[in-house]
A and B are shown apart, each in its own frame.
Chain A
Amino acid sequence: MFRRVKHWGPGLLLLAPTIILVGVFVYWLIFENFRVSLTNQHTAKPSNKYVGFENYTNLLADPNFQHSLWNLLILTVVFLSGTLIFGFLWAWILDKPAKGEGFFRAVYLFPMSVSFIASGVVWRWLLSSLQTDQPGGERTTGLNRLLDSVGLGFMQNDWWSNPTWGIAAIAVPAIWQLSGYVMALFLAGFRGIPEELREAARIDGCSEWKLYRYVIFPQLNPVMLSAVIIIGHMSLKLFDLIRAIVPDANTYDVQVPATMMWVKYIGSDYADAAAIGMILLVLVAIVVIPYLMYTSRAEKR
């Protein structure tokens, strides 16, 4: 026994600072946050009166919060499908050896290195909602102006200033920024498929479509899963981009739980802010925990 402790004791000791830091800053704070979310601390004045799950039931009954959940759903669906489509398409085209491949890859990936706050500055301008055929339309700028001047004026729209679908416009810059990432994941996936596998399928007379359907796609499943998890959890947490594009944090059209939590925090409604944080955590956990269990089991095999 003593020998074994001597064997792994030093490792545990080296890991101790991290275990303590993560223990406090992740797990203990989540617990604390849960505790605050059960109190009635709705003003800056400290209050520790417990009200059970009242904050949660109130939030879930609040039309504003319901709308933020709806927005989050739309955002995630559009963001995910956009990045998967572009990411896959680019990787598929660039997978075959091509001249200048490195250049294209670098261009597609570069938006990833820029902050949402910086890209938000230009997307705010691009997605400005004024349209040329509206009153004051001569002041139109951004994509609407571009569409108008290339003869696609009918495609002009109010982008994010729309209560039902406005949030989908926020997904446009997010897709612009992260499709390159998904491309990089898929490229690694494509390169991981042994050439013999494709050859064998071709020799067996597999058509190009069948080759993809039965050989390539199944091999790409793990990559696809990683992409969905990464983009999905980014989407659930998306905050910076919305703040950069829409000046007022409390804008109904593009409200998501992450921005609503900020609004509650600014208004010193700590209990509600904590409750929204918990709801976000549960949503992320539903996505991430099965994934973590899956990867740690896959590793053991």
Chain B
Amino acid sequence: MAKRKNRLRYLVLIFASWWVIYPIATSVQESFEIDLGPLYSGRGVSFVGQFFQGTGGLMPTAINYLQAFRIEAWPRLVFNSSIIALSSVSIALIVGIPAAYSFAMYKYRGKTILTIGLLALRTISPFAVLVPFFIVYGQLGLFDTFQGMAIIYLVLNLPIVILMMRGFFKDIPKEIYEAAFLSGASDMTIMRRIALPLVIPGMVAVVLFAFVATWNEYLYALILTGARSKTVSRGVWSGFGESIQGFKILDFDELNTAGTLALIPAIVIVLLVRKYLVRGVTLGAAK
């Protein structure tokens, strides 16, 4: 009976893994391929509908990656995304941590409304505000700038930071705060020297969530960035070297190369902070 149950479990897990891994694997495989069909066929480039149709290829090849780095399109995208994500997450932390601390520690008027407001901010559909943002950003000169993108991503990151950090601060036993209070420490000292060091695992998890969310964000980037501040997520879709006016045939090998490259930073970060991540996610549960 138990064995059968296990077999069923494995089946489900194998299917789930396949479901997750298959697209990634395909993408990685494609990125190492180059289509040589046109050279062999002798009939020139062939199309099915409007799509380019390959008839044979070469694998593995690094040509797509060499291409990505040679024309310096990829490093540029990574640079843009990194600057935008890092500055947005940093601002979110600087503003959000004190806010979260105050939410966790003090009683004041309007606290509930502010909390609900924060949640509401997360639930508003971006489509509803895209056009207004586009217009306002144009007027303020924030369109296609790093500052503009860092600010717009606060919409994503601030609620994550505030709501999660509030939970972590609340999970610290209240006697610890009280002991610090009675020791003569000021509120600022308690936050800096007692509360913050204790929530570092949680904070790492929060930073990671926020960073990945920003890194992967596509919709705002599509509307609000142009040639100067185009992000990785846009690059993955539109390929390398596209300029705003430019026209380019969709090249699937190139898109897959970009997609594979885009995975790397997230994977590296998760591996680096895995220990903290697990502790951060289970913080409070494992007391």
Bound together: no
